[in-house]
Amino acid sequence: MTIKFLSLAIAAGLALSAPAANAAVYSFTQTGFEEGAFVSGTFEASDSNADLIIRGGTLNSIQEITAFTLAFSGNSLVQAFTHSFSDLTTLNYRPAKSFFGDANPEGMASNWFGSTGFFYVGGTAVAGEQGGYVQNIDTGSWSHSENLVYVTPAAVPVPGAVWLFGSALAGFIGAARRKKS
């Protein structure tokens, strides 16, 4: 009876403490723009349909991205700017890779088709080639990079439920040993 109870407790604890599949926060950066400028940001996503591609934005029918920020550091061609989730036009990323932009359908765009402000496009799916562009829509000035977008998943902390489950499991094992003696 104790073994069955212990097995049930282990299964329940693991089910309750397991994080959602592939849920993560990703940081990205793209260097190589004129005068040392760069694009950086984060997005939070989960591959909810398990097709090994994270997709989201106003142009995508699949929405797996829940948060997004992008910042351009600025140079003499295009001043610094930031974009948020509401500016995300499209983002397609394969989480198995540490970069994107070298193969279709990989790419990212924010405020693409905007009528004012700034836009960013990068990757073969949106720019048509490896690299990226930022543009001041109002002045028409732009800056270009031929580099890929590098992505790093943020470290995911171990949930507190795992630590509580571990101490409860140790207590059950200790109680079972005392009962046998």
Q: List, run by run, the mean pLDDT of 10-residue segments along the chain (181 residues).
A: 51 46 84 98 96 95 96 98 98 94 91 96 84 96 96 70 58 65 62
Task: Provide the b/e sequence for 5-31 (b: ≥16 CB within 10 Å).
Answer: eeeeeeeebeeebeeeeeebebebebe
pLDDT at 68: 98
pLDDT at 126: 80
Cβ-contact 89, 109 below 8 angstroms: yes
Q: What is the pTM of this model?
A: 0.74
**CA dist 8 to 75, 123, 179, Å?**
60, 48, 19
pLDDT at 2: 54
pLDDT at 15: 47
Nearest-angstrom CA–CA distance, 63 and 48: 9
pLDDT at 122: 94
